[in-house]
Structure 1
Amino acid sequence: DYYAMLGVKQDANQESIKKAYKKLVLRYHPDKNTKNQNAKEMFIRVQEAYSVLSDPKLKIEYDE
């Protein structure tokens, strides 16, 4: 669930989604977590979730 991945509710607005995304990107960025094997995978998942939820058309399709 992309909403759960970003830690926001399904009715979250774009500002809340972007804020959550920025927080998680900083937390899981591979350059900042060189010793954490899972950081890169989490970073990719967060990127994917944000790419869908930040695009109004894709978000509507995802919500259906």
Structure 2
Amino acid sequence: MAKRDYYEILGLSKSASEDEIKKAYRKLAVKFHPDKNPGDKEAEEKFREATEAYEVLKDAKKRAQYDQFGHAAFESDVGAGGYGGFSGFGGGMDISDALRAFMNDFGGDSVFG
């Protein structure tokens, strides 16, 4: 299955600012967070997908790579010039990685209340 465009996932244009990216991600992350949707595999997938998109688009270097090469920038078979350390995105981010990333950026329980 082809991966969706990260900007599309977050509902943004390619010219979105850092603040717009963060706001869009936070809105989706709160909506689809596993704690708010226990046992809902579709919500879990949307949360994971939004987090993966955010992890790339929030970082200027990764975003530039993505804008130039799309998902191929993070696939392990890109070659010696590949984007080291992000080969794991080729196979997707698992839910524990997504939750960890969310907690690192937004912290504790405060996102829900």
Q: Which SS does the other structure have where 1:12 is aligned?
A: coil
4+ long deviations beyond 4 Å = none
Q: Which residues of 2 match residues 1-64 of structure 1 at below 5 A?
A: 1-64=5-68
TM-score by length of 2: 0.55
Cα distance between partner residues in 2 of 1:41 and 1:54:
20
Root mean square deviation, CA, Å: 0.8
- C-alpha displacement at 1:35, in angstroms? 4.5
Tell me, in whole angstroms, the C-alpha distance in 1 between the residues paired with 2:61 and 2:41: 33
Gaps in structure 1 of 5+ consecutive residues: none
Q: Point out where structure 2 has 5 or more consecutive residues left out of the alignment.
A: 69-113
Structure with greater contact order relative to length (CA < 8 Å, sep ≥ 6): 1
* Residue 58 of structure 1, CA deviation: 0.2
- Equivalenced residues, count: 64
Greater CA radius of gyration, 1 or 2? 2
